[in-house]
Chain A
């Protein structure tokens, strides 16, 4: 027996608190998904019903999150806005994951020249803040929901590329890839059969963690007026609309801000939970 000592898995106070936080995070994600899919179920009031008579009213039983400067229900707008915020997060992460995995695998397997070029560009782009790159892309493509998705997706590619390359290099030099080569299999087949499935799981986990960041980036671009255009109820643009009235009422700014914050925390906590569960036995997770 030369194996190291077993680590105790006692349930302590700290881990129990973590479970409460975890459940809340998953619950919140569930609500967001529900809001994105069937917003009318959670908020029967229309998000764009203008009623100047009740403009800027504070939270009450009729309007739990109050109303904005045009008398629209803030709660309703937040629920209906979930579709856009989640959509931007998911869409851009999907783009980043797809392109990043492709470039990373090519970088690790297609020879020294391709590797040098891809790694050089990755390093250069990683030196810029992601939001700056996204702004650049939007400046070229113009504002709009789809363009924001593309912008954030492209600006996140370098991070995914670098992570994929590292994972792919480990698998590429592993004994089983070597064994497959000595069996006379073709490299593309080996990469498809062995390399991709073994390199992918950590990236999928990274993608869940990244969702939160992508949602923030989406809100930030919307806040700048580059995302979904009015009167679309996007969280970032709601924040932007509310800032003019910050000295009159707090709720139109603070509540969307809180929702963004909660969404990011939830995705981060949930992503970490997934990582903790699957790390070390990743291969089993992708049967």
Chain B
């Protein structure tokens, strides 16, 4: 074991380039850092900043097209640039553990997680056939997996996202590596589960493991990191102690990232700087009163095992005109099912839905169809939302045609693109050629082109980087103000909901457990579940409680 002031990993002037069809691309340029036992370095940056490539270099998994150069790249004094494949295998898992974002694809689908973790132990000669089961159970228990004996016999797809991530961490630390790399370990998870995973990583750090944490979210790393390096376009633009970087950032880019964290800012503040969409004053009549009324709605489904399960139980609420109602809950709590019923894509078993003071559920499709344009959807996976063969012009044009708009389609589509902050140069692009943020803006443009009164947003920002998420949240707030839209905003992220919404509805296991104005509910949560949600919001200020909040 190296002493605390001696780095386990030392990286000097690391440069990684990729040979591609379009020539040479530099993913990482001149990056240097050290990892110390029992300390955590967080590398923070947006998609494409080179942070993941940097992490992969330490386990020799940059791929055959990569050209890795460094004046120094050592693990415990051993030069990593000269390792053979065989030597790399003894480094991976044994000396450097690696936890990836997507635990479902990182775990072998045809082996139990017990076998997966057991293999890590056996490969490195740390357990025998006789002792391996006990070791596996002990590791799972240490990773706070409840009922480890039973879980060890299950397959990855039988576990929830949080349990999978824990199993993955258990297998990564099975061989007691000195270094643990976690690449976006919590990005796909609920806030509550995210908090638990971060705690688990913190425990590893406390035991003397050197931790390299990769994330796009400064609020997530705030709790764990001792040191933060901010990466952009393959370079480290700012580094320092976590406190210094979070409290007094010096680089413009770091300030922008900090400003994008919704939980750190009071309501009504813009997260991403000046507005990107063009303000347009609505010409529609102002609607008042409730636009969506959901009355005691229930829905159950028969699962693949033939057992009927209730997804939504007796849910009632009203969305008032011009308001934003947040619908919060963990995955599987029935939020999306409620949204699907509000959109009239699914019939409730009991109860009723009214839209714009008109009966909506239980109606013949021919009666409902002419009014569908009044309630539009922006959904979670932006790439799945568009016909891959269509151009941007045709995508938005489809909405225009649906409400009977004729005339110069290109001009009208351009107007809608401008309103959501997209350039008309994108008119002839196809969805695959757009970034995640552009796709989500396009989804909003298409929904708006139908000139709706209500917009249902199902996790519209959960697949986006924090900085892009900030822009989309700003855009939605602007559109509400300009067009008098009413929004049903579904999210698992209370930070986002607190920032954007007027009212909130907390769902757990298909039931509404708490409802009310967002500030009231979050300040004094009455229900246990809401309390745990509120406690789990990653906050930068929590990391340094004695200091006042970040000012930007």
User: Nearest B residue to A8 by beta-carbon distance?
Assistant: B64
A183 within 8 A of B: yes
Whether A183 pairs with B399 at a CB distance below 8 angstroms is yes
| Least distance between B194 CB and chain A CB atoms (Å) | 16
A21 within 8 A of B: no
Given contacts A5-B61, A183-B372, contact A283 B399 (CB under 8 A): no
| Least distance between B63 CB and chain A CB atoms (Å) | 3
A140 within 8 A of B: no
Chain A CB within 10 A, most for which of B48, B62, B101, B388: B388
B49 within 8 A of A: yes
| Least distance between B68 CB and chain A CB atoms (Å) | 12
Given contacts A5-B62, A197-B389, contact A184 B369 (CB under 8 A): yes
Encode A24-48 as 1/0 by CB contact (under 8 A) with B. 0000000000000000000000000
Whether B389 pairs with A287 at a CB distance below 8 angstroms is yes
Whether A176 pairs with B387 at a CB distance below 8 angstroms is yes
Q: Which of B47, B63, B389, B398 contacts A180 (CB 8 A)?
A: B398
User: Nearest B residue to A186 by beta-carbon distance?
Assistant: B369
Chain A residue contacts of B183, Cβ below 8 A: 2
B20 within 8 A of A: yes
Whether A183 pairs with B389 at a CB distance below 8 angstroms is no
Given contacts A1-B47, A184-B402, contact A179 B377 (CB under 8 A): yes
B252 within 8 A of A: no
Whether A5 pairs with B388 at a CB distance below 8 angstroms is no
B27 within 8 A of A: yes
Whether A184 pairs with B372 at a CB distance below 8 angstroms is yes
A286 within 8 A of B: yes
Q: Main SS of chain B's interface residues? A: loop
A182 within 8 A of B: yes
Whether B372 pairs with A198 at a CB distance below 8 angstroms is no
User: Nearest A residue to B373 by beta-carbon distance?
Assistant: A184
Chain A residue contacts of B49, Cβ below 8 A: 1
Whether A182 pairs with B386 at a CB distance below 8 angstroms is no
Q: Which of A6, A176, A186 contacts B386 (CB 8 A)?
A: A176
Chain B residue contacts of A123, Cβ below 8 A: none
| Least distance between B235 CB and chain A CB atoms (Å) | 14
* Size of interface on A: residues with Cβ below 8 Å to B: 27
User: Nearest B residue to A9 by beta-carbon distance?
Assistant: B21
- Cα(A7)–Cα(B18), bound, Å: 11
Encode B26-40 as 1/0 by CB contact (under 8 A) with A. 010000000000000
A181 within 8 A of B: yes
Which of B384-415 touch A at CB < 8 Å? 384-390, 398-399, 402-403
Given contacts A175-B386, A182-B376, A184-B372, contact A2 B402 (CB under 8 A): no
Chain B residue contacts of A277, Cβ below 8 A: none
Q: Main SS of chain A's interface residues? A: loop
- Cα(A5)–Cα(B59), bound, Å: 13
User: Nearest A residue to B46 by beta-carbon distance?
Assistant: A1
* Size of interface on B: residues with Cβ below 8 Å to A: 48
- Cα(A6)–Cα(B50), bound, Å: 14
User: Nearest B residue to A285 by beta-carbon distance?
Assistant: B389
Chain B residue contacts of A181, Cβ below 8 A: 345, 372
Chain B residue contacts of A186, Cβ below 8 A: 369
Which of A215-261 touch B at CB < 8 Å? none
Given contacts A183-B372, A184-B369, contact A2 B47 (CB under 8 A): yes
Chain A residue contacts of B187, Cβ below 8 A: 2
Whether B63 pairs with A5 at a CB distance below 8 angstroms is yes
User: Nearest B residue to A1 by beta-carbon distance?
Assistant: B52
Whether B101 pairs with A194 at a CB distance below 8 angstroms is no
- Cα(A197)–Cα(B394), bound, Å: 15
Chain B residue contacts of A198, Cβ below 8 A: 387-389
Chain A residue contacts of B369, Cβ below 8 A: 184, 186
Could you list 12 examples of A-B contacts with CB < 8 Å? A1-B49, A2-B187, A6-B63, A7-B63, A174-B384, A180-B402, A181-B345, A182-B343, A184-B372, A184-B373, A198-B387, A283-B388
Top 10 A-B residue pairs of the complex, sorted by shortest distance between their CB atoms? A5-B63, A184-B372, A283-B388, A183-B402, A175-B385, A175-B384, A8-B64, A1-B52, A176-B387, A283-B389
A residues apposed to B, CB below 8 Å: 1-3, 5-9, 174-176, 178-186, 194, 197-198, 283-284, 286-287
Given contacts A176-B390, A182-B345, 19 further A-B contacts (CB under 8 A): A2-B47, A2-B52, A6-B20, A175-B384, A176-B385, A176-B386, A176-B387, A179-B385, A182-B343, A182-B372, A182-B376, A182-B377, A184-B369, A184-B402, A197-B389, A198-B387, A198-B388, A198-B389, A286-B389
